[in-house]
Each structure stands twice: as structure tokens, then as C-alpha cells.
């Protein structure tokens, strides 16, 4: 229920699945919309996502030139769902 709420509230477009025990993932996956793109990191439960991190990185090209960022650019997005009380 909390997973579904957080993913919908945040308007998530992509979900990374990391290291979880099978019990936790079994409960959480019920809240993941079937049309949400999922990518699994190593050590996540088997078949937990549509694609693996390694599959995604296979066609990626390394960054050749370091990008300089300015202090005015956003560096982090902090999100809290308020799932302890809607």
C-alpha cells in the first residue's frame, strides 16, 4: 500500500529495484504499477524488474568530457511522500 502511494504521489516514471529480501519484495511489488519501467540492480530478487542494470549499460557510452556545474544548478531532489500520514 505504501509503495503504491509513494510511486503514484511522486509521479514516478522509472523504478530501480535494489537489494531486498524475497519477503520484502513480494509485499512491495504489489504496489508497483505494471506499466512502470523497472530496472534491477545486482543482488535484487530474481526477475524483479523488466531490465537489469547491466542490460541498460550495455549500449551506454562513457562520458568523455567532465561537465562543470554551477552552484545555481539543482544537484539533488529530496522527496518525502508523507506516507506516515496522508
Residue 82: pLDDT band with limits 50, 70, 90: low
Q: What is the mean pLDDT of residues 57-84?
A: 83
Give DSSP secondary structure letters for the chain.
Answer: -HHHHHHHHTT-SEEEE-S--HHHHHHHGGGS-TTSEEEEPTTSPTT-SSEEHHHHHHT-----SPPP--TTS---------TT--
Predicted TM-score of the model (pTM): 0.72
Q: What is the mean pLDDT of residues 71-86?
A: 75
In the predicted model, what is the mean pLDDT of residues 70-85?
Answer: 76
Give per-residue pLDDT as tens, 13-33: 999 999 988 888 888 999 999
pLDDT tens, residue by residue, 33-43:
999 999 999 88
The mean pLDDT of 72-80, rounded to a whole number, is: 80
Amino acid at each position: 500500500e505504501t509503495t503504491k502511494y509513494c510511486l503514484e504521489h511522486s509521479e514516478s516514471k522509472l523504478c530501480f529495484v535494489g537489494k531486498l529480501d524475497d519477503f520484502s519484495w513480494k509485499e512491495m511489488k504489489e504496489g508497483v504499477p505494471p506499466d512502470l519501467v523497472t530496472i534491477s540492480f545486482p543482488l535484487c530478487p530474481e526477475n524483479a524488474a523488466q531490465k537489469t542494470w547491466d542490460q541498460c549499460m550495455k549500449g551506454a557510452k562513457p562520458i568523455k568530457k567532465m561537465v562543470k556545474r554551477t552552484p545555481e544548478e539543482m544537484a539533488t531532489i529530496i522527496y518525502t511522500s508523507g506516507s506516515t500520514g496522508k
